Structure 1
Amino acid sequence: MNEPDQMYNLFEPFVDEGLSLLRKAVLVPEYPTVDNHYSLQEMIWQALSAQGMAASIASSSEILNDPKTLRRLSELMEIKPEVMTITLFGNQVIAVEAGNTANELFGVAFDIGTTTVVGMLVDINTKKVIAVCSKTNPQVSLGADVISRIQATHELLGGLEGLSQLIRQCLNRILEELCAAAGISPNYIYATTVAGNATMVHLFLEISPSTLVRKPYTALFKHMAPLCPAEVELAVNPAGKVVVLPNIASFIGSDTTAAVLAVDQDVSTVPMLLVDLGTNCEMVLTDGDKLYACSTAAGPAFEGAHIRDGMRAAAGAITGVTITDDVQVEVIGDTKPTGICGSGIVKAIAELIKAGIVGPAGRINRSTAQMLPPNLERRLKRKDNQWEFVLVEAKDSATGADISVTQADIRQIQLVKSSICTGIQFLLDRTPIQKELQVCLAGAFGNDFDVDSAIIIGMLPGFKRDSIRPVGNAAGTGAIKALLFADKLQRCNCIADKVDYVELAAQPNFQNKFLANLSFPVVKRDLASGGVFTPSEV
């Protein structure tokens, strides 16, 4: 079971004074009699009111009106337990159980990414994350990006149903592993929150996302009422609730809503830029008042895809690279290198730029070879009609083959960095920022991201190093907060309605800016002394 990078701590509770979304109450019911007659619905209301848990509810029908719950209450009347436990979702009774099950109250927050799916099991009573599980999204077999998957819903027989089944099965496998890790029954999971980009959430709900790729590029929905687990085939308590967090617009989904919540960008009074790095890259800017957002298809390069020797951030992945008179690499786990992950490829390219091996146009500069130390010169090789720079030679790799950065790999990162840089520029054009801007790098990839490397390659234009901070899987953290606290869930609804969406493709001069941003900043290097200076065009 993999544990992704995170803002939350497995040992520290979430501290908040807000009302819990999920609550349990242990009741000693006073059953009606012939002389003291009232409905069982009223019996529950009276018992909860006596504990102060229904004080704001005007009538018993407001707190208990679901036929499934009433049927379960009817079953309990056969045994008339002395003690029963009531589970509330907000102010709604969703489950009644015989005995005292107050200690068994759990929820799961899901972050459905295009490439990676994460589930976080939360003990609602202690407000702690007690287990985390991540898996590769099985839909990648039908396309690495959202456009490919939307096409698959049309081009493949049963494409929509198949893609929906793949993600639902993935979530259930995650649930199974989480429950096994924590030693709990799935029947004690009473709520799940789901965050994801708009395409992923449409597919999870088995709703066609085709309107996302046709003008005017709209989602089918923004807000969704809580669902029963059976409606989406999730193996949790049948009486539980599945809360799909609200989308913002077209390709800016509920994962962005959750990320904004996690960093409190919606209530920030200072300028803040949130950049959620992933297969799709979402950016949200606030000037301390209004919120603006845009999205760009960064592609799966940050997950190691479309990189020749790329891989996910797992054992054997190169995560860091340093180039001096030779190459040193940092690898996940006590093992030989197998490939290079997203953070590693960005770091490697930044080092190649600093060393003068890659120029501003993104080309490997073979002419510098004679000026390089011998250990670097021998690493420049030509293979399959393109130049590459070898990070790990075959004799030192787990695969028995060179692990390299190729010319094609550099081009992939150029496309990604230009998309992000261009999106940021258009957001900054929306509002004058008078104060220093705080920049939050979100996404599991963002936590391992080397900020200095991002500045060197020109991904974060014009920002000071000390104004940038990684915030980990902010979407996951926001989904946890929405699961724990009723007011946080309500804030998600407000965020989705408050954000002003910017469609990049419709912006004048977008193509020209994108092409201009493909270039890397110029880095002045004194090859004689080995000195490296700050990029002159950042």
Structure 2
Amino acid sequence: SIYEVVLVGNPVMRDLFFGLDVYPLGQMPYRSVTEHEFREGQRPGTHLAKRGKQSLLPIHPDGRVYALPLVGSHVGSDTAACLLATGLAREERTVAMMDIGTNTELVIGNRHKLHAASCPAGPAFEGGQIQCGMPALEGAIGRVQLEPEQRLGVIGVGPPSGLCGSGLIDLLGELLRTGRINSCGRLTDGSDRFWLDAENDVYLTEEDISQLAQAKAANVAGLHLLHQNYGIDFSDLDVFYLAGGFARHIDLDHARRIGLIPDLPDERIVQVGNAALEGATLALLSVSAREEIDQLVRRIEHVELETFPEFFHCFTDGAQFVPFQNRITEAII
């Protein structure tokens, strides 16, 4: 029988599993019930736990289901797990982490000071709201080269069915590199879509590119404002962790070319992939790791990006497909 389960996820997912009211997460100041209660001194932390018999999981009735604490607002227990996995909070160096997803989480700092924020990027880079977008399953195009000859890397052995996150980043980078789109994301030949595989009906439309540009813009705005609030430029970073389900498969050259990540050298970028899962595993196997993260989240400063008057400027500037190291920071300053 299973006696221990550890859960991590965004605040809405976590609280729904535990049967909590998620309405407060959709209203200012966007805090979980557990965060409200913790701030009012009604509970010792924002972690959650229940017995197996109180859950619908196939575990021992006296087993325990434990959810890691929240960082704050929409920065959830998955980010707490990422911090466990990367050891970011024990670093002397200045480190940033970007966990790419529908709600991208950002953390910057070291053992002395930590800031965190979330960006409502939407599902575009996970294939959502993209006409030929799909998860990284059989048939998904995950690698794209257009010139000197077209090459597609397809998951599995069958024909291509659509584009997953890494394939979308590759395709945008290649379209930009070969002059097929401009920095505003418009196709330079005047058409409304680029056919990648006409035989299998796989293409990217200008509306798709617009969705990807908006998702990128949210992430870029978050990165710039968080760094500005922390008081450093991207060039000051010693390490940049790129996390998320498909982060390990992102081509760094293309990600830098379209302006999705800072223009840092490869040796300063670490693709950690699904760090939340690794952190959850550490917490499952170690009670001391749970205690460590429960104390850690209390000293992280949650930065509310929506309160910055510069957000809209950063967002519109970040929607352009250009490298962005220090570009917006300098424009703001």
Normalization by structure 1: what TM-score? 0.57
1:462 to 237, 242, 263: 263
SS in 2 for 1:320: strand
SS in 2 for 1:202: helix
Question: What does residue 392 of structure 1 align with?
Answer: 197
Write out aligned runs for 1:126-145 (5 A). none
Question: What does residue 113 of structure 2 align with?
Answer: 290
Count of aligned positions = 316
Q: CA deviation at 1:495?
A: 2.2
Write out aligned runs for 1:205-244 (5 A). 205-222=18-35, 223-244=46-67
Contact residue 302 and residue 445 of structure 1 kept, 8 A: no
Q: Deviations over 1:55-80 (max 9, x none)?
A: xxxxxxxxxxxxxxxxxxxxxxxxxx
Does 2:277 match 1:476?
yes
| Separation in 1, partners of 2:283, 2:84 | 9
Does 2:72 match 1:249?
yes
SS in 1 for 2:128: coil
1:346 to 145, 165, 169: 169
2:17 to 197, 200, 204: 204
Question: What does residue 437 of structure 1 align with?
Answer: 238
| Separation in 1, partners of 2:284, 2:164 | 31
Contact residue 53 and residue 60 of structure 2 kept, 8 A: no
| Separation in 1, partners of 2:250, 2:187 | 23
Question: What does residue 152 of structure 1 align with?
Answer: none
2:306 to 505, 510, 534: 505
| Separation in 2, partners of 1:493, 1:357 | 49
Contact residue 272 and residue 288 of structure 1 kept, 8 A: no
| Separation in 2, partners of 1:490, 1:327 | 51
Aligned AA for 2:67? V
After TM superposition, the runs of 4+ consecutive aligned structure 1 residues lying more than 4 A away are none
Provide structure 2 residue ranges, at least 5 long, that are not aligned to the other structure.
Answer: 36-45, 329-333
SS in 2 for 1:208: coil
Write out aligned runs for 1:86-165 (5 A). none
Contact residue 115 and residue 230 of structure 2 kept, 8 A: no
Contact residue 53 and residue 62 of structure 2 kept, 8 A: no
RMSD: 2.0
Question: What does residue 406 of structure 1 align with?
Answer: 205
Question: What does residue 422 of structure 1 align with?
Answer: 221
Q: Percent identity?
A: 32
SS in 1 for 2:50: coil
Question: What does residue 28 of structure 1 align with?
Answer: none
| Separation in 1, partners of 2:95, 2:54 | 38
2:319 to 518, 526, 529: 518
Q: CA deviation at 1:325?
A: 4.1
Normalization by structure 2: what TM-score? 0.90
Q: CA deviation at 1:393?
A: 1.9
Q: CA deviation at 1:463?
A: 2.4
Contact residue 48 and residue 68 of structure 2 kept, 8 A: no
Q: CA deviation at 1:466?
A: 2.4
Question: What does residue 264 of structure 1 align with?
Answer: 87
Aligned AA for 2:194? F
Aligned AA for 1:296? C
Contact residue 391 and residue 405 of structure 1 kept, 8 A: yes
| Separation in 1, partners of 2:258, 2:137 | 24
Aligned AA for 1:216? P
Contact residue 229 and residue 239 of structure 1 kept, 8 A: yes
SS in 2 for 1:429: helix
Aligned AA for 1:392? D
Q: CA deviation at 1:303?
A: 1.9
| Separation in 2, partners of 1:437, 1:412 | 31
Question: What does residue 41 of structure 2 align with?
Answer: none
Q: CA deviation at 1:226?
A: 2.6
Structure 1 window deviating more from structure 2 (470-479 vs 298-307): it is 298-307
| Separation in 2, partners of 1:216, 1:341 | 34
Q: CA deviation at 1:464?
A: 2.6
Q: CA deviation at 1:430?
A: 2.2
Does 2:12 match 1:189?
no
Aligned AA for 2:25? L
Q: CA deviation at 1:287?
A: 4.3
SS in 1 for 2:230: coil
Give the number of the structure with larger relative contact order, counting CA–CA contacts within 8 Å between residues 6 or more apart: 2
| Separation in 2, partners of 1:300, 1:230 | 35
* Cα distance change of structure 1 residues 287 and 268 upon mapping to structure 2, 3 Å threshold: closer
| Separation in 2, partners of 1:418, 1:216 | 23
Larger radius of gyration: 1
| Separation in 1, partners of 2:290, 2:146 | 47
* Cα distance change of structure 1 residues 390 and 403 upon mapping to structure 2, 3 Å threshold: same
SS in 2 for 1:275: strand
Q: CA deviation at 1:288?
A: 4.5
| Separation in 1, partners of 2:110, 2:68 | 24
